[in-house]
Amino acid sequence: MRLFSTILLIICLANTSFSQQFFRIKADFSIKQKKANGESTLIMGKVYYDKNAQKIIYINTFPKKETDVLIDTVLYSIIDNKIISKNSTFFTYKYSIFHLALIGNLSTFGLDGSVYKLVKTEKEKDLVITTWQADGKAKEKLGKIILSTKNKKLYGVVVFDNKNKIVMKQFFKNFVNVNGMDFPSEITQISYNASGKESYGITTYKNIVVDDIKDDNIYNFALPK
């Protein structure tokens, strides 16, 4: 599930403006990853998100039955209605692909209106490429981010550290339109560790449902006492 959180990572100072057009999304997901040490993993399940409940709920069915719930910056792992782990994370619901898609901010990766400022725009064939730099004091800790869009949809993201070294690449493919909302059904991520070795992961989404009026008990999942 940590990989899933990483794949869905959005820079944690993004725009948080809201739109009332869409409020819920759920989907079946699968994650295939090849780690830097050569180990391969597969996770499958279903994910639920309601922007009013402000929780992301992952119900994993493979390789084991487990529910992971992200609330604020804490990820809870639950098995048999018992919390088995509780871990802090930089990732929150506001910066997830689900939230950004629902509020219409996915095409700018949530950077528009954040501490990042647009400094360069260029076109390369059918891609529009924009470069974003952290502003003010944030520039000391955050590197640049390069986005590419295709047909006004987010296509690629390259994240640099403050030493201009690439730490992550993401590619968003196979967008589907559900009730007027565009959502990528495939996300590829390449992450680089301190020694430069890469981890490679692909997340796919199927059976995407927007503004579902069922399953309130899941969208508003209550942690076990």
Judged against a pLDDT cut of 80, whether residue 63 lies above it is answered with: yes
Strand partners, 209: 26
Q: Which of 16-25, 142-151, 162-171, 193-202 has the lowest mean pLDDT?
A: 16-25
Domain assignment present for residue 225? The answer is no
Average pLDDT, the chain: 89
Domain assignment present for residue 17? The answer is yes
Q: What is the CATH number of the domain that holds 37?
A: 2.50.20.10
pTM for this entry: 0.84
Domain assignment present for residue 93? The answer is yes
Longest dimension (CA), the chain: 55
The CA distance from 82 to 196, in Å, is: 38
List Cα–Cα distances, 180 to 6, 8, 90, 148, 161, in angstroms.
27, 22, 30, 22, 35
- Backbone phi and psi for residue 156, each to the nearest 5 degrees, phi listed first: -145, 155
Mean pLDDT of 55-59: 96
The pLDDT value recorded for residue 194 is: 80
pLDDT (tens digit per residue) in 112-160:
888 999 999 999 999 999 999 998 888 888 999 999 999 999 999 999 9
Domain assignment present for residue 161? The answer is yes
Strand partners, 77: 68, 85
Provide the number of structural domains found in the chain.
Answer: 1
Domain range spanning residue 187?
2-219
Nearest CA among 84, 117, 83 for reference residue 11: 117
Place of tokens 């604020």: 72
pLDDT (tens digit per residue) in 64-103:
999 999 998 999 999 999 999 999 987 888 879 999 999 9
Rg of the chain's alpha carbons, rounded to an integer? 17
Domain assignment present for residue 96? The answer is yes
Amino acid, res. 177:
N
Q: How many Cα neighbours within 13 Å face the side chain of 17?
A: 11
Domain assignment present for residue 224? The answer is no
